[in-house]
Structure 1
């Protein structure tokens, strides 16, 4: 059974805790695990469940992303992640990848539609979509993440209750149940709190702490941030991470010894459950529920 290592960068003001990712020696085993996962998919009755659609037209893909982005906000509203004007989701623009879309400042998550989203450039200037103000701290964080990680197309950050509570410990989540395995090898901790993120340097440090492979980061004394190749993936990781924080707080309060999941079992579970396609699929029930509730304000997006 392999071991988990933790890398800590001690130079102020950033410290990162990131479990080791899969090594080259692990690749044959991972391919075997993926084959096993594909075989288990036969339990769907032989029918393929639709995954991430392939959309060649970047303008159609833009609209598709904005619809899913609005749906993600409404899911967050239903789950209680709103806190005044705090919180933001960003999505890289497929037409001009050096720009991204973000939510308008001061509008409740539960009211957002695709047409409400604001397109901004790398300097924070509004260049398209809804011409209105955006959250300055949100821009600083999200622009740095998008610049640092071309593989990331979406990022989510809110001041969710359990995420704020767990962030006070400045430590990663333990791998103590099946859902927490989604964060095996992809979670980090940013161990500096510089107040409201209004300086570009703080955003850059957060992006550095996320690292080259991370998709989930605990911002000490602040909250959670997740990322993904689609807004659906990033949003599902956020809802899962928030609930995982809540569960871990329950476990910690019991005061009993914990049984951690072994590295081999965690790696296997992550390889089956935490790929981009599966995480996208995990978000669809919540998204479709919001479409059903929206009285026509939301859709899946045309493609």
Structure 2
């Protein structure tokens, strides 16, 4: 069973020429700017560095579980190829030099490490069915996996959780079954139309971005945090006051976009670039 959620969008108050209310109106202020590239090679290097940073961020947040967990980003020049973290390498040890590139069948075309086949089957299916999705994240996290066992969507109990309101799905298909066959992730991929996140029952969390690996990574971190918060409230036996649908949609419109996910991740990127320079090796 897949629970698809409709997506009525709130009227935007973002001024023309801008994509977010957080962008400064004054000129000359320091503020993160979206990158521009002179070549596919330059863009590829950028994507690989930010993919590594996402892996390092997952390590810091304790998202590791043995060799489980995989992050992918579509190659800018060859959209049928995807860069991903190597099999059986801890998130904290991922670096530009040990990333691997594979096609949608899981055949490694660049890099010396093996690929996590079970994980890549799911990612490849989503990327193949949704050409607009450029990046995906999945990890076997404590709270996300626990929440996924409930088989229900995240409730809008806060502004943070409202970012996922009507923008995630609960996937019951193939619940608890490890996908290893080619096309084994198709049912999961079917549910990813028009949303940025999925809760796969008895498995865990997945996020996807039509913008960047930065955005996919941040929204995964945020979704795990929201699952933790909801589990804590439910464990207390208290019925939370939910944000009304109208307000939740309004908040999602302004704090739940791919751009906002990218913007949030820049704080993580800047810290990691300064504190873990070995990730560029």
| TM-score when normalising by structure 1 | 0.86
Matches within 5 A, 1:109-148: 109-128=91-110, 130-148=111-129
- Unmatched runs of 5 consecutive residues or more in structure 2: none
- The Cα of 1:286 is off from its aligned counterpart by 1.5
Q: Is the Cα–Cα contact under 8 Å of residues 67 and 114 in structure 1 kept in the other structure?
A: yes
The whole-number CA distance in structure 2 between the counterparts of 1:245 and 1:101 is: 28
Alignment partner, residue 171 of structure 2: 190
- The Cα of 1:45 is off from its aligned counterpart by 8.5
Q: Deviations over 1:131-190 (max 9, x none)?
A: 221101111011101011111110000001001110110111001101111112210011
The whole-number CA distance in structure 2 between the counterparts of 1:65 and 1:54 is: 12
The whole-number CA distance in structure 2 between the counterparts of 1:43 and 1:164 is: 41
Coordinate RMSD, CA, aligned: 2.1
The whole-number CA distance in structure 2 between the counterparts of 1:233 and 1:40 is: 16
- Unmatched runs of 5 consecutive residues or more in structure 1: 1-14
Q: Is the Cα–Cα contact under 8 Å of residues 194 and 202 in structure 1 kept in the other structure?
A: no
Alignment partner, residue 223 of structure 2: 241
Matched, 1:19 2:1: no
Alignment partner, residue 76 of structure 1: 58
Matched, 1:290 2:276: no
Structure number with the higher helix fraction is 1
| TM-score when normalising by structure 2 | 0.92
- The Cα of 1:123 is off from its aligned counterpart by 2.0
Alignment partner, residue 33 of structure 2: 51
Q: Is the Cα–Cα contact under 8 Å of residues 217 and 226 in structure 1 kept in the other structure?
A: yes
- The total of aligned residue pairs comes to 277
- The Cα of 1:245 is off from its aligned counterpart by 0.4
Picking from 125, 130, 133, the partner of 1:149 is 130
- Point out the more displaced range, 55-64 or 81-90: 55-64
| Other structure's SS at 1:96 match | coil
Structure 1 residues 43 and 166: CA distance shift in structure 2, 3 A = farther
- Point out the more displaced range, 188-197 or 169-178: 188-197
Q: Which runs of 4+ in 1 moved over 3 A?
A: 35-46
The whole-number CA distance in structure 2 between the counterparts of 1:257 and 1:198 is: 40
- The Cα of 1:48 is off from its aligned counterpart by 5.7
| Other structure's SS at 1:282 match | helix
